[in-house]
Amino acid sequence: MKTNSSLVNLSRRSFIKITAAWTGGLWLVGVPAETPSSYHVFTREEAEIMDILANCIIPPGEFAGGKEAGVTNFIDQQISKDGYLNGYAKLYKTCLPALNRTPFDKYGKHFLNLDESNRIEYLKKIESGVYNEPSGAALWEPYTPSQFFSTLIDHCMMGFYGSPEHGGNKNYVSYRMIRF
């Protein structure tokens, strides 16, 4: 077997120099990653719930849906301490976990694990106020499920139709949709 003599004769010092150059290059270029720290307010699970909600409210079709349009990113940025909707952070931090846990009694699964038809059925019940009753509302206090859902719809629309400079409407998807 023939070996490459330039690799065999590589000194330890040369190896360290090459390794340092590559490592430094990666550091300078950066390696993008989807991490929980990419969000200002949301945890990874809350962001996953938001992506599902965004697509339920603005489903993908000929154009991108809420998730692909960056609605979750928009809401996360805007409810952060420096965002225009920063007064809503507590609402989301209370209601997203409650929204995920509430369907367990009826469906035997959390929202994240429901199939699409059960998610839609569950969200319609939230919107109509079914879970506002005292037996279903304890996890949501001091808010009501329907109050949260109404606010969520408004914020999703802001993220979908607003200016991309605020974190949503990625690639101007809604502008292209309405031919703006």
C-alpha distances out from residue 28 to 25, 31, 155, 163, Å:
5, 9, 36, 30
User: What does the alpha-carbon distance between residue 132 and residue 161 come to, in Å, rounded to a whole number?
Assistant: 29
Q: Which residues contact 175 (CB under 8 A, 6 or more apart)?
A: 169
Domain boundaries, the chain: 36-177
Largest CA distance in the chain: 78
Q: Are 100 and 45 in contact (CB under 8 A)?
A: yes
More confident residue, 62 or 27: 62
Q: What is the pLDDT of residues 53-80, one digit of tens each?
A: 999 999 998 888 889 989 999 999 999 9
Amino acid (1-letter code) at residue 110:
H
Per-residue model confidence as pLDDT tens digits over 91-129: 999 999 999 999 998 899 999 999 999 999 999 999 999
Confidence grade of residue 36 (pLDDT, cut at 50, 70, 90): very low
pLDDT at 173: 76
